[in-house]
Each structure stands twice: as C-alpha cells, then as structure tokens.
C-alpha cells in the first residue's frame, strides 16, 4: 500500500505542471490564438519563481513571481501577434527561444543553490487517513488550484456568456466583431490567462517538483502541454485525464529503474515524447472528432475594420 501511494503521489506531482500549462493553452486556443511559446513562458516562470522565493523567503510569493513573469511573456506575444499581426507560429517559436536564453541568463546566479519548497497543506485528521489522506488532503496549493482551474474553465466555457463569447471569437472572429464583440480584447485576456497558467506551471517545477534551479528544467513539458490540448480535442475534462496519463508515463522511468527493470534509461526518458507522438497520430486519424471541436479561426490573424 505504501508503494502504491508513493506512485500515485509522484503521478500527481508530474501531472500538475502539464495540467496547469495545458488548461491555460486550451483557453488561448479556444479564442483562436495559437501560442507555441508555452515552453518559453514555463521556463521563465520556473526561474522567476525560484528567484522570487529566494528573494522574499516565501514560496507563495515565488509562485506569484512565476505567474506575473508568465503573463509578461504572454503580453509580449499578444502585442506582436494581435497588435502588430505577426505570424503566430513564428512568434511562438521565437518566444520559446527567448525564454530559454533569458532564463539561462537570469538563473546563472542561482545554479547550485538550495530551493525553498512549497509544502503541502496538512489538514488535521483528514491528512492522516490511510491512502486517501495524503492524496486528497495533503497536497500543495497549486495542485488544488490546477483542479479548480479545470472545473472553472469547463464551467465558464460551456455554461456562461463569457465562455460563449470566447468560443465565438475562436470559431468566427468576423461574425463576433460584427455583433459588437471586441475580438482583440477577448484574445488579449485569453493570452494573458494562458501566460499566467504557463508561468505557474514553470514555478511548480522549481518550487515543488524539483525545488532548485536547473537550466532547461522544463525539458519539453511545454510541448507536451500543447499536444495535450489536441489530445483532449479542446475539452477541459479531457485535458485533466490526459495530463495525469502523461504524468504517469513520465514517472514510469523512475519506478522502473527503482525496481531494476532492464530497460535503457535513455528509452525511458524518451517514453513521454514517444507517447505524445503516438497519441497525436491516433487522434489525427479521426478527422471528424478533431474538426468538431477545433476552433475554426485557430491561428488566423484578425484585423478590425478601420
């Protein structure tokens, strides 16, 4: 039972940054914007979260630093793609490269320093329950926030007028504009929300997953988050399931090595990305399912009538 509980706890830890980044990107893409800079926003969030925690002594303030830095990167992306109408794909890739370089420069002073861990919330009695105690009542605040975001995004997108506007802008920005909707405002807000989630995802890596700063510590998780949105066919609850599935695949290598499974470590490290490719290939074969939920204006620029 203890080994099983340990595996479940590590799955939650591995899945949370994927879930945070993917749920933010889902909202961005639902509004019709394709931001491939998730990796760059995550890595900047990771270094700024670590730096913020070191400067203030509080991991919670470190998480705030991570959130704000992710929004800053997203604001740059929004200005270039929404205001200046730059190509979204090229700008997203450039944002990732910028984030990797910027984080390396900022984080150089923090290499080798011990981090300040964001600890779990202990609830008396409930946290001591067998198995479910630590799983449900002993997690850190970002795990609970990630689950709340899934529920909140699902409710807002499909149960509120604001969600209807976001989906309308993503499906037909010209019609939404004709009805008086401020397309650019909606997309700016969606991009900022996605940046905040990506920044928090990066902050989770340096404050919880591995409480230290290591250059390139996101290790491609931003790209997996992008694939998760497609895997989930732009549905929040499917993002939740996909994040935990990919999280389980990601930590499989550690448990396999701990039990002496004779599989090359390089293959186990590549397994999450192999799984990502396999899932995308499978999904692409079902074109009807993909077309039903794909925002029709995804990646298409919008220039309002002047």
Give the tens place of pLDDT for each residue, 278-303: 877 777 777 776 677 889 999 999 98
CATH of 2-293, one of 3.10.28, 1.10.3470, 1.10.405, 1.10.3430: 1.10.3470
Q: Among all chains, which residue has been given the structure tokens 């039990």?
A: 259
228-285: pLDDT as tens digits: 998 888 999 999 999 998 888 878 766 666 666 666 766 766 777 787 788 777 777 7
The model's pTM: 0.93
Q: Which residues contact 182 (CB under 8 A, 6 or more apart)?
A: none
The domain ranges of the chain are 2-293
Provide long-range contacts, Cβ within 8 A and 24+ apart, for 105-114.
106/44, 106/47, 106/48, 106/51, 107/47, 107/50, 107/51, 107/213, 107/215, 110/47, 110/50, 110/51, 110/54, 110/213, 111/213, 111/214, 111/215, 112/212, 113/54, 113/212, 113/213, 114/211, 114/212
| Positions of the chain with pLDDT lower than 70, given as ranges | 1-2, 253-263, 265-266, 268-269, 289-290, 306
**Which residue, 183, 198, 191, is CA-closest to 301?**
183
Can you tell me whether residue 34 is helix, strand or coil?
coil
Let me know: does 23 contact 44? Beta carbons within 8 Å. Answer: no
């Amino acid at each position: 039972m203890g080994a099983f509980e340990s595996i479940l706890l590590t799955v939650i830890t591995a899945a949370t940054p994927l879930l945070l980044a993917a749920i933010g990107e889902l909202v961005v893409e639902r509004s019709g914007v394709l931001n491939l800079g998730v990796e760059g926003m995550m890595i900047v969030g990771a270094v700024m979260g670590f730096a913020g925690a070191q400067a203030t002594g509080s991991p919670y303030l470190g998480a705030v630093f991570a959130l704000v830095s992710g929004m800053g990167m997203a604001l740059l992306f929004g200005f270039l793609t929404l205001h200046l109408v730059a190509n979204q794909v090229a700008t997203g890739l450039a944002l990732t490269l910028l984030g990797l370089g910027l984080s390396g420069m900022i984080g150089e002073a923090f290499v080798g320093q011990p981090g300040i861990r964001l600890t779990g919330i202990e609830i008396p009695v409930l946290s001591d329950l067998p198995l479910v105690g630590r799983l449900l009542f002993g997690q850190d605040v970002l795990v609970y926030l990630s689950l709340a975001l899934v529920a909140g995004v699902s409710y807002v997108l499909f149960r509120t007028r604001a969600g209807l506007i976001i989906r309308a802008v993503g499906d037909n920005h010209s019609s939404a504009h004709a009805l008086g909707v401020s397309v650019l405002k909606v997309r700016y807000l969606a991009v900022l929300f996605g940046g905040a989630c990506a920044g928090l995802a990066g902050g989770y890596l340096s404050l919880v997953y591995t409480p230290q700063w290591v250059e390139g510590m996101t290790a491609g998780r931003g790209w997996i988050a992008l694939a998760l949105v497609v895997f989930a066919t732009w549905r929040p609850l499917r993002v939740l399931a996909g994040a935990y599935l990919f999280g389980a695949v990601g930590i499989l290598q550690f448990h396999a090595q701990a039990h002496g499974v004779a599989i090359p470590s390089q293959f186990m490290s590549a397994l999450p990305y192999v799984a990502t490719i396999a899932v995308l290939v499978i999904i692409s074969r079902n074109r009807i399912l993909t077309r039903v939920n794909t925002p029709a204006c995804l990646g298409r620029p919008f220039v309002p009538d002047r």
